[in-house]
Structure 1
Amino acid sequence: MIGVRVIQKVSSTPGFAKVAPHVIPALDRAVHRLTRGKVLLSAQLLPGVILTSTGARTGQSRRTPLACMPEEGGASWILVGSNFGRTGHPAWTANLLAHPDVTISWKGRDIPVTARLLEGDERAAAWKAVLAFWPPYAAYQARVEREIRLFRIVRR
């Protein structure tokens, strides 16, 4: 079995950032669909959700598998717009800014949530927690000039 530290080291590399965005979400969507929402392949390493949002420009429904950091109490999660350390913000973050009322699939259950972009001290505290939760996010931030967006999603 490959150790978590090895996976963290590999996931911090620029090569991973080039390949992962094309492979991991496709695998996650397929496994999630085949298991009727019960399994996310990437969630074997990090907790994950399927985010169903409305496209900021298109208005169309979008389903995006994402790693998340559940917060204490089970009523909120942090979503990290790391885009695997690539230069642009991921599209799903623009969708949340435009249409913050969304749905997540969490452990096979659909949950209506509202997303809020974290800023200032609140973002700083969440970022510290996120780095303790998954250290490779620091490598992603170091590769880009943009500030990685953090969202707190809470049950509606």
Structure 2
Amino acid sequence: MPKKEGSKRAERPELSRLELDIMDVVWELGECSSAEVIDAYTAKRPLAPTTIRSVLANLRKKGYLEPVPTIERGFRLRPLVNRESVAQRTLKGLIRTLFGGSPRQAIAYLLKEEAIDERDLEEIRRMLDNRRKGARP
């Protein structure tokens, strides 16, 4: 039985950069075959199909994908977690590791080091104002 995303049992190992890249393809495709993942991934960047299949097998073992049997021979792959939950967990880990757990330091770094256009700054101001008022962005 698949693990629930919100439960403690759903703690999955962190994803490598390549695993995240492959999951991005799976999230874009939705339920898909390994051949579809290989075609979509290699259309953007070269990587051996055997490597992609190995990564997909690792993602299954780690609990990020599940096989779905098909009428024809084989199976399709279904993501067990959504992009947002992985992004949230990854970002929290980065903030904890690189900025001592301080969101303020992470935001200060981004404001100092990244080019942010006026429209994005205005959106950030709006989110901060809403947060001060008790609303979520």
Alignment TM-score, normalising by the size of structure 1: 0.28
**The structure with more radius of gyration:** 2
**Structure in which a larger fraction of residues adopt helix:** 2
